[in-house]
Structure 1
Amino acid sequence: MRNTSVKMMRAVLVRQFGGSDQMRVENLPIPTVGDKQVLIKVHSSGVNPVDTYVRAGQYKNLPNLPYTPGKDAAGLVHSVGPSVTRFKPGDRVFSSQTTQMGTLAEYACVDEPYVFPLGSSLTFDEGAAIGIPYFTAYRALLQKGLAKKGERVLIHGASGAVGLAAIQIAKNHGLYVVGTAGTKEGIELVLETGADAAFNHRDSKYIENLLEGEKFDIIVEMLSNVNLGHDLTLMKSRGRTIVVGCRGPVTINPRDLMGTESSIIGCALFAATPDEFKELSTQVVKGITDGWVKPVIDSVYDLEKAGEAHDAVINSKGAKGKLVVRVQE
């Protein structure tokens, strides 16, 4: 006999790794909140490229099947575990954490250290666009790139969610910012977000145009399999290229590193130590309060169309901010 006392929710479930057609909305039990966990009533869930790699089974750390995708969320605290001290029911929050039952669901259980106050100045859609993009951008620029006021930074792929976050962080820390995008609309968005200059990376001569100007102390690279070889020619002495994204192998000439004693540095948010994660999350939350964290939303999808959002985030021909799934109002 069915237990009618179990409360249910709508959630996306993946029963087999593969394409976006493996994502189906099902009815599942609402998670039980743990001792040091926060149960969030999810209003919006952010979609990141890494979500598609996990769903396809092409990522280092894979969940057990079946699982619910999604790492970033924003909503209201529904309930908290006995040992939770920072939140109470009704608080507006955002979160970012990899769990077996992710954020493409009406409720998500998240460990307390990965839940953060959203405040009242941002919408839930905007809150769902903070986690991975802003945390990754901060880690790339400040923790791995060791950015300093007055330095020049090139952000390759600046019109995407991580790129736009990187512009805001860089400008807040006093850097001169040059961004690239693949469409006229993307370039306009990069400039509106605060970049000092922007180039179309689909222009066959854009590398030549970049080489005509002053070179860069830091390059934040979203598509290293395409751009890394060029990046090595664009760095100043002791420059740093921070690799945030890659979709395949690349051939480079190490001599381009030797003369300038420049560096290629990998960046992965999951590799951050607890202290590093606390630092970057604290600084981003402060940015919300100070008003410079301003997520840009490209498109919003219903829960039933989460698969379309997965396809769009990886196949876009011109990113213009963050893709969000609105789980419930």
Structure 2
Amino acid sequence: MSGRTVMRAIRVANYGGPEVLKVDPKVPVPVPTDTQVLVEVKAAGVNPVDTYIRSGSFGTTGPLPYTPGADVAGIVSKIGAKVTKFKPGDNVYVIRNVSGGYAECTVAEENMVGKLPSHLSFSQGAGLGIPCYSAARAYIKAKGKVMQGNTVLVHGASGAVGLACVQIGKAKGLTVLGTAGTKEGLDLVLKHGAANAFNHKEQGYIDKVLEATNGAGPDIIIEMLANVNLDTDMKIVNKGGIIVEEWVEMHQVISEGLTQGWLVPSVQKEYKLEEASLAHEEIINNSGTTGNRILIMPFGERVQCI
């Protein structure tokens, strides 16, 4: 609808538990600058870091109120005067936005936006940002160890970041070993290309990892919970190997994965915007994560951010 000035969005007025996530139907529609893209949000990724920021435990906090969420996928509604890579109507994914992703519309700098391939849904596109760029960054930090024939152990491989690590590792010719805490998670890790998967809740799983590497240990360990597993990692990592802790992003690996078709986020569960608090609760308190959790916007009609 032309001339629209307000939208529905999740707003956090005070730091706290999931209950502080409230739908506000009268949030101003963000206006893009010359270098920004206005996106009609169709899906928004829910990541653990969103819950840390919401609770006020992330170290640095910004002004209140705010709208959570970095990762979205949707349709370009408007572009700034200096934007050249996109046009209204393009399906896109956003890896970091300016105004918040748990909303009907968001703005992002042009270099934080990518074309959404036709083989991915909006929900899958919303799972590309933090999970896939974190995984890509992990391999980049591994540098010389990422080579054909080397072995990578991905702890928590059934989660959003972990599955991206499995896919990237396989694409780069590594032998990928993964851990998960449920049978469903183990099956998913294998489905996404791991050579073997181990239940990290079972006694003696480390011995199985060592056996799978002929006693040498993995060349790379990608750790999702360094505070839990770092001590064990130091004992089993191959001499001269490295331990990579999770975070941040790297664009080139993601572009290759999307172009070649081997990077496909796995969506575990979708939620309505009104269920944001439930999504936050379940992403932290679960028996075993198996992919991305995504907020979806109504698909029946176009929201029209302008």
d(CA) in 2 for partners of 1:132 and 1:173? 20
For residues 163-202 of structure 1, the aligned pairs below 5 Å read 163-202=162-201
d(CA) in 2 for partners of 1:324 and 1:90? 22
d(CA) in 2 for partners of 1:122 and 1:213? 34
d(CA) in 1 for partners of 2:261 and 2:80? 31
SS in 1 for 2:73: strand
Which range is displaced more, 168-177 or 311-320? Answer: 311-320
Aligned residue pairs, count? 292
Gaps of 5+ in 2: 300-306
Task: Give the residue type in structure 2 aligned to 1:166.
Answer: C
Give the conservation status (yes or no) of the 8 Å contact 1:12–1:68: yes
Task: Give the residue type in structure 2 aligned to 1:224.
Answer: A
Match of 1:32 in 2: 31
Task: Give the residue type in structure 2 aligned to 1:239.
Answer: G
Deviation at 1:144, TM superposition (A): 4.0
Deviation at 1:6, TM superposition (A): 5.6
Percent identity, please.
Answer: 43
Deviations 1:161-207 (A, max 9, x none): 00000000000000000000000010000001100000000101212
SS in 1 for 2:258: helix
Deviation at 1:33, TM superposition (A): 1.1
Deviations 1:82-117 (A, max 9, x none): 011111000010001153x21000000001110011
d(CA) in 1 for partners of 2:30 and 2:191? 41
Give the conservation status (yes or no) of the 8 Å contact 1:44–1:325: yes
Deviation at 1:211, TM superposition (A): 2.9
Match of 1:249 in 2: none
Match of 2:15 in 1: 17
Give the conservation status (yes or no) of the 8 Å contact 1:145–1:242: no
Deviation at 1:145, TM superposition (A): 4.9
Match of 2:277 in 1: 307
SS in 1 for 2:253: helix
* Partner of residue 236 from structure 1, selected from 235, 238, 255: 238
Q: Deviation above 3 Å: which 4+ runs of structure 1? A: 143-146
Match of 2:303 in 1: none
TM-score by length of 2: 0.92
For residues 5-84 of structure 1, the aligned pairs below 5 Å read 7-27=5-25, 28-84=27-83
Task: Give the residue type in structure 1 aligned to 2:282.
Answer: A
Match of 1:285 in 2: 255
Task: Give the residue type in structure 2 aligned to 1:135.
Answer: Y
For residues 145-160 of structure 1, the aligned pairs below 5 Å read 145-146=143-144, 147-160=146-159
Task: Give the residue type in structure 1 aligned to 2:137.
Answer: R
Task: Give the residue type in structure 2 aligned to 1:320.
Answer: T
d(CA) in 2 for partners of 1:286 and 1:89? 25
Match of 1:261 in 2: none
d(CA) in 2 for partners of 1:312 and 1:145? 35
TM-score by length of 1: 0.86
